[in-house]
Every structure is written in structure tokens, then in C-alpha cells.
Structure 1
Amino acid sequence: MFGKDDLVDNLSRDLDRARERRDALASEVTTLTAQIAEVEARLSEEKTRRERDRVLGEIEAIKKRIKQATGAFAPVIGKLCEAIEMAATVVPEARELSSFLLSVATEVDSVVDPLLREMDQRADAVRAGHATLDLLCSANGAPIEPSKDNRDRLLRFPVWLSRNREVEKNETTEKPRSTAA
């Protein structure tokens, strides 16, 4: 019987050691699971911060391009109007093009500032975390609508600017004149 008791004692000790290892491993698994969750949360926060910075950078780049283009637009319109005024001495109808260009410039000026303000609001919403980080998504607010007055006029060229197909046909069928005598 002496050998049977030793076997039971050995098995009991082995069982106790196995349970202790299991409990230690379970504790380590719990600790590792908590550490993994913490690292995942930090990783997610960092990805969100980087995406927010990327979107804010893109918004600022778009605003910069709009400001640069708008700054270049006004002087070009001014030079065009000056040139058209000189052309109006020969073709009086050219003044229509000048007034058309001025109305386009006025319309551009009237929508650029609200557009830039809306972009600032979207950037603020992104900074605060209230907006989706997708540039195509609307934060909160309706899109900016151009003013209704003179809208039709801006979308059409003056009648005298549109070329008639008959005139084009005549120009292409005419033979070039010879300057030789």
C-alpha cells in the first residue's frame, strides 16, 4: 500500500501545480487582454488624429487655392474689361461682354466669402470631432446656394457672342483673298 499512497500524493501535487499554472496563465491573459485593448484604443486615437490632421490640411489647401484663384481672377477681369472697352470703340456691342464679365466677377465675390466661412465651420467641426472625416460628407448645414438674381444672365453668353452655324459655313467655304496684284 505504500506505493499507492505515493502515487495519490504525487498526482495531487501535480494537480495543484497545474491549477496554479492555470490560474497564473489566466491572470496573465487578463492582463494582456487589458494591455491589448489599451494599445488598440491609443492606435485608434492616433489614426483618428492623423486623419483629422489630413482632412484639416486638405481643407486649408483648398481654401488657399480658392483665395489664390480669386485674387488672380479680379485683375484678369479688370484687364479684360479694359481691353473690351477699347474694342467697344470698334464694336459697340462689346460693352455687353464687359458688363457680363463684371456681373460674373460680382457673383464670384458674393459666393467666395460664404464658401470660405462654410469651410471654416467644417474645419471647426472636424477639430471638435463632430464631423465625419470624409471630405465629401456634409458637417451640419445646407450647401451654399448662389443668389437667384442675375443667375440666368450669368449662365448665358450675350446673343452676339454665339456664332451662327451659317456664318461658320460661309467662313470655311470662302476662299482666302490673294494680296498679290
Structure 2
Amino acid sequence: MFGKDDLVDNLSRDLDRVRGRRDALASEATTLTAHIAELEARLSEEKKRRERDRVLGEIEAIKTRIKHASSAFTPVVDGLCKAIEPAAAVMPEARELNSFLLSVATEIDTVLDPLLRGLDQRADAVRAGDPALDLPSLAYEAPIVPPVEPRDNNERMLRFPAWLSRDKEAEKKETESA
């Protein structure tokens, strides 16, 4: 009988040790699960922060390109208008072209400020934590720089496509509404 009691005692001790290991492993599994959840939350926040930074960078790049292009556009229109003025003495249609260029420049100035303010509002919304906009990555192009001197000294008369010429009915509507 003595051997049977030793076997029972050994099995009992082994069972207690195995249960102790199981409980320790279960506790460690719970701790690891909590740690994994914490790391996943931190990873998710970091991904959101990086996406916000990417979107803010894209918005700033868009604004920079718009400002740069508009600052290059103004001197070109001004130069065209000055170049066209002497042609008005020879061709009365040159006054129309000059007027058209000035109206285009004015329209661009009118629309540009609200566009830039809208981009600022989008950036503020992203900073505030609103869902990030899904912007495509910008292809960074060479900056727009106005030419210093004309490439060709034999300047030709500018010819605009039909869709750029002013429609007489549109002019009548503008004068009637004014």
C-alpha cells in the first residue's frame, strides 16, 4: 500500500503544479492580450496621425502650387495687356482682347481667395480630427515660372479658339443684369 500512496501523492503534486502553470499561463495570456490591445490602439492612432499629416501636407502643397501659379499668371497678363495696347491703334479688336484678359484676371482673383480659404478650412477640419480626406498623392511638378523675355521676337497675333471669344448673348445678359 505504501507505493500506492506515493503514486497518489505524486499525481496530486503533479496536478497541482500543472494547474499552477495553467493559471500562470492564463494570467500571462490575459496580460499579453491587454498589451496587444494597447499596442493595436497606439498603432491605429499613429496611422491616423500620419494620414492627417499626409493630408495636411497635400493641402499645403496644393495651396503653394496655386499661389505660385497665380503669382506667375499676373505678370504674364500684365505683360500681354501692355504688349496689346499699341496694337489697339492698328486693330480695334486688340481692345477686346485686352478687356478679355483683364476680365479673366479679375475672375481668377475673385475665385482664388475663396478657394484658398476653403483649403484652409479643410486643413483645420483635418487638424481637429475629422476623418481625413482621401487625396491622391501630388505629382510634384516643376514650379511655374513666367518667361523673362519672349522666345520669339516675331510676335504673332494671338488667336483664341471659338470657345474663348465672348458670346454676344452673354454680353447682353451681363449688361442687362448690371
TM-score range for the pair, normalised by the shorter chain length: 0.7 to 0.9
Counterpart in the other structure of 1:129: 129
Q: Give the percent of matched residue pairs that are identical in Structure 1 and Structure 2.
A: 77
Give the drift of 1:84. 1.2
Q: Report what 1:59 is aligned to.
A: 59
- After TM superposition, give the deviation of residue 111 of structure 1 in Å: 0.6
Note if contact 1:96-1:158 (Cα within 8 Å) is conserved in structure 2: no
Question: Could you list the per-position Cα deviations for residues 98-129 of structure 1 after superposition, in whole angstroms to 9, with x for gaps in the alignment?
Answer: 11111111110011000000000000000011
Contact 1:77 1:101 in 2 (8 A): yes
Matched, 1:47 2:54: no
Q: Is the 8 A contact 2:77 2:105 kept in 1?
A: yes
Matched, 1:98 2:105: no
Structure 2: which amino acid aligns with 1:23?
D
Asked if 1 retains the 8 angstrom alpha-carbon contact of 2:85 and 2:94, the reply is yes
Is there any run of 5+ residues in structure 2 with no aligned partner, and where? 137-161, 167-178
After TM superposition, the runs of 4+ consecutive aligned structure 1 residues lying more than 4 A away are none
Q: CA RMSD in A?
A: 1.6
Mapping for residues 11-30 of structure 1, pairs under 5 Å: 11-30=11-30
Aligned to 1:89, what secondary structure does the other structure show?
helix
**Cα distance in structure 2, aligned partners of 1:157 and 1:99:** 13
Report deviation, 1:33.
Answer: 0.8
| In 1: Cα distance, 2:131 partner to 2:108 partner | 27
- Any stretches of 5+ residues in structure 1 without a counterpart? 137-154, 160-181
| Distance in 2 between residues matched to 1:30 and 1:87, nearest whole Å | 85
Residue identity in the other structure for 1:17: R
Seen in structure 2, the aligned counterparts of structure 1 residues 103 and 156 have a Cα distance that, compared at 3 Å, is farther
Match of 2:158 in 1: none
CA contact 1:122–1:131 (8 Å) conserved in 2: no
Matched length: 141
Trace 1:84-123 onto structure 2 (pairs within 5 A): 84-123=84-123
Instruction: Measure the CA separation in 2 of the matches of 1:35 and 1:21.
Output: 20
Residue 36 of structure 2 corresponds to 36
2:52 and 2:132 in contact (8 A); partners too: no
Name the counterpart of 1:173: none
Q: Secondary structure at the match of 1:25?
A: helix
Q: CA–CA distance in 2 between the matches of 1:13 and 1:36?
A: 34
TM superposition score normalised by structure 1: 0.73
Residue equivalent to 1:10 = 10
C-alpha displacement of 1:87 = 1.6
